[in-house]
Amino acid sequence: MLQNRRRFIRDSSLGVLTFYLAGCEVEMTAEQAHRAGVTRQVFNEAEAEALGALAEVLLPGSIDLGLVEYVDQQLGAPLDQQMLMIKYLGVNPPFAPFYQGGLAALDQAATAAHGDRFAQLDSAQQTALVAAVAQGQVENWSGPPAPFFYFVLRNDAVDVTYGTKAGIEGLGIPYMAHIEPPSPWGQ
Amino acid sequence: MAKEKVDVVIVGSGAAGSNIAARLAAGGKAVKILEAGPDRTNDHLVSSGLWARRLKWSGAPVLEEGANPVGHVFNAGQGTGGSAMHHYAVWPRFHPQDFRCRSEHDRGLDWPISYEDLAPFYDLVQTESGIAGDAEREVWRPPGEPYPLPPVPLFPQGQILERGFDARGMKTAPLPLAVTSVAYQGRDPCIWDGWCDSGCPIGALANPVTVDLPKAFAAGAVLETDATVTRILTDAVGERATGVEVVNSAGERREVLADIVVLAAFSIQNPRLLLASATAQHPRGLANSSGRVGQYIMTHSAGLIYGLFKEPTQSFMGAFGGQLVNQDGYEKTTHSDSGAFGSYQWMIAQAVKPNDLLGIGPTRADLFGNDLHSFMKRAARGFATMTAVVEDLPVADNKVVLSDDQRDANGVPLARVTHTTDPQSKSLWDATLVEGQAIFKAAGADEVWTGPQGAMHIMGGTIMGADPATSVTNSYGQCHDLPNLVIAGPGLFPTSAGVNPTYTVHALAARSADHLLDNWGSAVV
């Protein structure tokens, strides 16, 4: 009975996140959502592009693991269902303005320095700009405190990459779950 | 407005509220527990640091200010079991000197009770909840019955760090944990998988859902979730609490009337409710004739030490709280040469996961890109950590007040919390970082680094005391101004000590409940 209930939970409400695909609600992992090209709820095209590019600099591979879709879905979820680390980093909800403000500032900084948006910069330019953001050394930064913005986004990338069963086991660490999570952002 | 009447209404289903509920219900009282968050049982828990964040506070925002914010959402919880659902079950006792800080050191405050007053309740609670430890090896431990359960096993991370303490002539003992090292009172033994932060679905860790709430329910107590208390009600002359006003997520308001009202909604929401329940007789807020409601908010500074070792540490094994303890620095003047004051302990060899705030990834926030991938791979093999629990001196200006201009959806002003660490406590935190790094080096670490001044636990805000002019409650948590309004939880602490608070929360709750049952007539009148 317990196992059946567990399976029910795992396969249903806790099993996956709810995304929107072709006007329909679809339950899937963030990685599946990334491959399927789901409809975003919060980010516009420019924001999604900047977030994806930033994620790849922070932790290569995280874009394919569905980081953009994960953050977007989470920002649209009820607060008591949210799992973003920003929830307990001293920022009061709603959290979307924090992300959108930071991504806009990133694009502005890229444009000021190189004449193009962050996603369009070459790898070396992106890495140098992220390093400057991390150290709070971007002039006329218009978003939330730059090092904190870096810290939050970096942790989201770590969550998506190393917070899942696949990510943990990929490091050679046995997952050892009492109750396995619903394979989010992994399989 | 709809009304119901019970003997006792308890606001909050966390450690304090659940313990009092179990005792008063067993004593024959009709008990109603109101919990603002969702209904949750151990069946709802998932072993994942991401899903665990749903156990954290998601109620009305708390506005945090000051140089060292208390980290409310991280430390607080919501839903059945409250914050204790994600606590790590490190249960040391406070020391006798913690109760006499003002008398002995002319700093901080005195408690209205001594260690000896609380000792019988520590003994009682450890039997009920089951604490694993080794009282003999814990040479700093105050007098008391030995632990009912054998100690936590030692894994490689603990063995490696123990070397460092040995090399520096410092002692270690198994960390006292309210975790079943063997089967206990129908609870399965822990499998030391390091998922305590996510709640413990097998009931090995002594959270309210596992220990106290089943007893409360068996004795007839009723838990109502999705029940946010918005106001404490009083009689016409303002001498007694008569119940609470409660609202659900559909916006339906009603009153729950009771002979005794227990506030067990943690250190921020308790004073918020008192302040928001001001009346003509209590214009500064209920139970606030002293002006102390909201004051003396405290949080332990976390002295975070990290290191990489050549040998495999298996840091994913064990309990989230750690494997070993050291309290060699418990004397409050240990580091007085550097201007530091207070007690501290080391929690040694915590189980860690790759992500989350206390995981491996954030410890090297300077790294990103492939450097971060590379670090994660090395750390997965040889990472080790320990944490100092650093006493926070009570400061009156570290306090909860009501926001002048921001309210929640129910119209209750938000809590505004200011906390700046006292310089002597900050110096003690600095000293622990120096000591901790030396221990890691002595243990043979290849790399050693430290973390920022984290905030662990939230205490104070409704302190107990002997003098009604300078405290909110008596030693049983009864408000000086309204004796049938009872406060429970770490908000009662006049000082924070240098150890984790949850065991003492239980002992105080047990003492309060016994007193109420023995003196029901005078408490209710």
- Cα B115 to Cα B162: distance, rounded to the nearest angstrom: 30
Task: Write down the pLDDT at residue A14.
Answer: 28
Q: Tell me what ipTM this predicted complex has.
A: 0.94
- Cα B307 to Cα B333: distance, rounded to the nearest angstrom: 28
Residue B94 in any domain: the answer is yes
Residues B205 and B196 sit within 8 Å (Cβ to Cβ): yes
Across the interface, whether the CB atoms of A84 and B53 are under 8 A apart is answered: yes
Across the interface, whether the CB atoms of A184 and B48 are under 8 A apart is answered: yes
Would you place residue B169 in the very low, low, confident or very high pLDDT band (cuts 50, 70, 90)? Answer: very high
Residue B281 in any domain: the answer is yes
Residue A183 has pLDDT above 70, yes or no: no
How many structural domains does chain B have?
Answer: 1
Scan residues 73-132 of A and list those with Cβ closer than 8 Å to B: 79-85, 87-90, 92-93, 127, 130
Across the interface, whether the CB atoms of A57 and B369 are under 8 A apart is answered: yes
Across the interface, whether the CB atoms of B48 and A163 are under 8 A apart is answered: yes
Residue B191 in any domain: the answer is yes
Give the one of A60, A159, A178 whose C-beta lies nearest to B355's C-beta.
A159
Residue A15 has pLDDT above 50, yes or no: no
Task: Write down the pLDDT at residue A38.
Answer: 84
Give the one of B37, B54, B376 whose C-beta lies nearest to A162's C-beta.
B376
Joined together, the tokens standing for residue B508 give 């105080």
Task: Write down the pLDDT at residue B3.
Answer: 87
Residue B252 in any domain: the answer is yes
Using a CB-CB cut-off of 8 Å, the residues of chain A touching B378 are: none
Mean pLDDT for chain B? Answer: 97
Across the interface, whether the CB atoms of B47 and A9 are under 8 A apart is answered: no
Give the one of B45, B69, B355 whose C-beta lies nearest to A158's C-beta.
B355
CB atoms within 10 A of CB B255: 18
Task: Reduce the secondary structure of A55-69 to three states and give it as a string.
Answer: HHHHCCCCCCCCHHH
Summarised one tens digit per residue, pLDDT across range A96-130 is: 999 999 999 999 999 999 999 999 999 999 999 99
Q: Kindly identify which residue of chain A lies nearest to residue B375, measuring between CA atoms.
A: A171
Containing B386, the helix (H) or strand (E) segment is: strand B383-390
- Share above pLDDT 90 across residues of chain A, in percent, rounded to a whole number: 65
Across the interface, whether the CB atoms of A171 and B354 are under 8 A apart is answered: yes
Across the interface, whether the CB atoms of A83 and B53 are under 8 A apart is answered: yes
Using a CB-CB cut-off of 8 Å, the residues of chain A touching B368 are: 57-59, 130, 134, 150, 154
- Cα B180 to Cα B151: distance, rounded to the nearest angstrom: 9
- Write phi, then psi, for B359 (nearest 5 degrees): -90, -170
Task: Write down the pLDDT at residue B273.
Answer: 98
Query: How many A-B residue pairs are in contact by the CB < 8 A criterion?
Result: 143
Residue A186 has pLDDT above 60, yes or no: no
Would you place residue A184 in the very low, low, confident or very high pLDDT band (cuts 50, 70, 90)? Answer: low
Task: Write down the pLDDT at residue B525.
Answer: 67
Amino acid at B259: D
Summarised one tens digit per residue, pLDDT across range A126-180 is: 999 999 999 999 999 999 999 999 999 999 999 999 998 889 999 999 988 877 7
- List beta partners, residue B247: B228, B253
In the DSSP assignment, the letter for residue A154 is: H
Summarised one tens digit per residue, pLDDT across range B316-362 is: 999 999 999 999 999 999 999 999 999 999 999 999 999 988 999 99
Angstrom distances, CA of residue A10 to CA of A35, A146, A182: 22, 37, 5
CB atoms within 10 A of CB B274: 28
Give which of B224, B234, B274, B228 is closest to B258, Cα–Cα: B234
Give the one of B50, B74, B372 whose C-beta lies nearest to A88's C-beta.
B74
Joined together, the tokens standing for residue B66 give 């000051």
Residues B243 and B261 sit within 8 Å (Cβ to Cβ): yes
Structure-model confidence comparison of residues B204 and B357, the more confident one: B204
Residues B294 and B399 sit within 8 Å (Cβ to Cβ): yes
CATH of the domain at B345: 3.50.50.60
Residue B457 has pLDDT above 90, yes or no: yes
Question: From the candidates B200, B355, B377, B403, which should be mutated to test the interface with A, based on the most A CB atoms within 10 A?
Answer: B355
Give the one of A90, A127, A177 whose C-beta lies nearest to B47's C-beta.
A177
| Domain definitions of chain A by residue range | 43-170
Using a CB-CB cut-off of 8 Å, the residues of chain B touching A83 are: 50-51, 53-54
Task: Write down the pLDDT at residue B293.
Answer: 98
Query: Residue B188 belongs to what domain range?
Result: 2-45+64-524
Residue B176 has pLDDT above 80, yes or no: yes
Residue B51 in any domain: the answer is no
Question: How would you classify the pairing of strands B31-34 and B2-11?
Answer: parallel
Would you place residue A16 in the very low, low, confident or very high pLDDT band (cuts 50, 70, 90)? Answer: low
- Share above pLDDT 70 across residues of chain A, in percent, rounded to a whole number: 88
Give the one of B57, B58, B69 whose C-beta lies nearest to A90's C-beta.
B69
- Cα B58 to Cα B65: distance, rounded to the nearest angstrom: 19
CA distance B377 to chain A (A): 6
